[in-house]
């Protein structure tokens, strides 16, 4: 319900060309012992030094380029049994003698559609504008679900944003300008591949 704050991370909902979105798999995709939690539905980027994923953080308000939306992980912790989980618990050491996979939805296809809740109200006048993620590290360690949002203010005209706002969500409890507006986006700032247009304002 968009009248209350109920963030659910990023939902990869569809593809404009009619192909159902499918997660991909990255072998050894998180460095053993990596310190931060990574939640299902959280935006991540590729560390070009290690070839492993790390969470996007938007340091100093500058948007990180987007590699993917995290969708879970399979690993065997040192001294433990195999785990297939929706999130990565920060600090986990995995056993390199066994398989380790990260599942993710790639964000280098311009037709991918994402649904995210804003951290405030978004008016009709902002349709077509660029938006950046907010609350990137928020999530639930019990369910493993991300609670990231998008910053409701959007970005100024001519500025590069992570996402391009293409329509309002049309769930049963959704309305334009809700206190916490549910929105649908395409990717505007991928780490590899195409480059989206700057915000129209």
Q: Write down the pLDDT at residue 201.
A: 67
- Name the CA dihedral angle for 34, 103, 146, 96, rounded to a multiple of 10 degrees: -20
Give, in degrees to the nearest 5, the angle at Cα 102 between 75 and 138: 100
pLDDT for 165 equals 95
How many CB atoms are located within 10 Å of the residue 192 CB?
A: 11
pLDDT of residue 19: 77
Say whether both 70 and 35 belong to one domain: yes
Give the CA angle between residues 116, 89, 146 to the nearest 5°. 10
Residue 2, pLDDT score = 77
Sign of CA dihedral 138, 142, 144, 147: negative
Same domain for 112 and 100, yes or no, is no
For residue 98, the enclosing domain spans: 24-106
pLDDT along the chain (201 residues), means of 10: 86 85 95 98 97 95 94 96 96 96 94 96 94 97 97 93 93 82 95 80 67
pTM (two decimals): 0.94
Same domain, 30 and 102: yes
Q: What is the pLDDT of residue 172?
A: 66
Structural domain ending residue among the three candidates 106, 127, 159: 106
């Amino acid at each position: 319900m968009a009248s209350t704050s109920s963030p659910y991370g990023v939902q990869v909902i569809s593809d404009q060309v009619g192909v159902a979105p499918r997660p991909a798999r990255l072998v050894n995709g998180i460095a053993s012992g990596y310190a931060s939690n990574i939640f299902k539905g959280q935006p991540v980027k590729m560390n070009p030094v290690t070839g492993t994923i790390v969470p996007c953080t938007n340091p100093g308000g500058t948007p990180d380029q987007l590699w993917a939306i995290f969708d879970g992980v399979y690993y065997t912790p040192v001294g433990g049994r195999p785990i297939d989980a929706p999130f990565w618990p920060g600090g986990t050491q995995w056993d390199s003698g066994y398989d380790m996979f990260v599942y993710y939805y790639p964000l280098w296809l311009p037709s991918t559609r994402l649904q995210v809740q804003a951290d405030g109200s978004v008016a009709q006048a902002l349709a077509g504008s660029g938006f950046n993620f907010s609350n990137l590290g928020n999530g639930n360690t019990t369910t493993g679900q991300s609670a990231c949002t998008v910053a409701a203010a959007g970005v100024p005209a001519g500025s590069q944003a992570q996402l391009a706002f293409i329509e309002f969500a049309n769930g049963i409890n959704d309305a334009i300008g809700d206190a916490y507006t549910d929105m649908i986006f395409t990717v505007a700032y991928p780490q590899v591949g195409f480059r989206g247009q700057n915000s129209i304002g």
